[in-house]
């Protein structure tokens, strides 16, 4: 309990500081931060999605662990890292920072936020289903999470 309170305090402090911290983040660091969060989302969502589509056998423990990790990682909110100046690759950065973000993110911020909110809602439902242990509900919720990933990528990621 004590640790939990401490953790809560740290979170509250971090939230208060975030405006300053994100205003100062370098574009190349912002690009890498959002891509890293996305990448870890995909690592956790991969097995969940494959089980939901019955491409691999259902294993409740693995499903639940990945769904709950996805919830935690999504809570880092990758959309905070689409800061001004990070709409194009950064040349000369220590590690080259390419980006697949398209300009709509900055020209249609409300639409982008709606896509984020939709995903937050679907991931919340997936985590609730995982906690309930109902296999059917878990698989259905996983499908909706995947649709929300795809919907945002269709609108806001450069087509390859
Ligand atoms: C709100 C919009 C949005 C949602 C929702 C979203 N993504 Fe993304 N994702 C993006 C954008 C934009 C990029 C391109 C970022 C860049 O290159 O700067 C991206 C990039 C990625 C990448 C490539 C990262 C890299 O290494 O370059 C992966 C993998 C990914 N997303 C997985 C997912 C998964 C899995 C989900 C669902 C659980 C998801 N995304 C949901 C917007 C979204």
Closest alpha carbon to 28 in 120, 122, 107, 92: 92
Residue 77 counted as domain residue: yes
Cβ–Cβ contacts within 10 Å for residue 145, how many? 25
Please report, for the domain that includes residue 143, its CATH number. Answer: 1.20.120.10
pLDDT of residue 133: 95
Total domains in the fold of the chain:
1
150 burial (CB, 10 Å; 0-12 / 13-18 / 19+) is: exposed
Taking the chain, what is the end-to-end CA distance rounded to the nearest angstrom? 48
What spacing in Å lies between the alpha carbon of 25 and ligand 1's midpoint?
A: 19
pLDDT tens across 40-93, in order?
999 999 999 999 999 999 999 999 999 999 999 999 999 999 999 999 988 877
Residue 15 counted as domain residue: no
Ligand 1 pocket, Cβ-based, cut-off 6 angstroms = 31, 34-35, 38-39, 41-42, 45, 79, 99-101, 112, 115-116, 119, 145, 148-149, 152-153, 156-157
Residue 103 counted as domain residue: yes
Listed range (64-78, 88-102, 120-134) with the worst mean pLDDT: 88-102
What spacing in Å lies between the alpha carbon of 122 and ligand 1's midpoint?
A: 15
Residue 14 counted as domain residue: no
Residue 57 counted as domain residue: yes
Closest alpha carbon to 111 in 158, 145, 155: 155
pLDDT of residue 94: 72
pLDDT of residue 97: 81
Residue 18 counted as domain residue: no
pLDDT tens across 1-46, in order?
444 444 444 444 444 444 445 568 999 999 999 999 999 999 999 9
Helix (H, G, I), strand (E, B) or coil at 98: coil
Range of the domain at 126: 26-156
pLDDT band, residue 96 (cuts 50/70/90): low
Residue 150 counted as domain residue: yes
Closest alpha carbon to 70 in 91, 39, 28: 39
Residue 17 counted as domain residue: no
pLDDT of residue 79: 97
Average pLDDT over residues 151-157: 98
Closest alpha carbon to 73 in 133, 120, 26: 120
d(CA 114, CA 119): 9
Q: Of ligand 1's atoms, which has the minimum distance to the CA of residue 105?
A: 12
């Amino acid at each position: 309990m004590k640790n939990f309170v401490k953790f809560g305090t740290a979170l509250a402090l971090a939230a208060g500081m975030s405006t300053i911290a994100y205003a100062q983040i370098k574009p190349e660091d912002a690009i890498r931060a959002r891509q890293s969060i996305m990448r870890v989302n995909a690592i956790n969502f991969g097995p969940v999605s494959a089980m939901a589509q019955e491409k691999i056998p259902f294993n409740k423990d693995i499903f639940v662990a990945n769904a709950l990790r996805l919830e935690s990682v999504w809570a880092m909110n990758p959309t905070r890292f689409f800061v001004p100046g990070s709409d194009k690759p950064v040349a000369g950065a220590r590690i080259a920072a390419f980006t697949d973000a398209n300009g709509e993110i900055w020209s249609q911020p409300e639409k982008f936020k709606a896509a984020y909110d939709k995903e937050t809602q679907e991931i919340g439902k997936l985590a609730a289903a995982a906690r309930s242990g109902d296999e059917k509900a878990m698989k259905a919720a996983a499908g909706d999470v995947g649709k929300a990933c795809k919907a945002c990528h269709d609108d806001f990621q450069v087509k390859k």
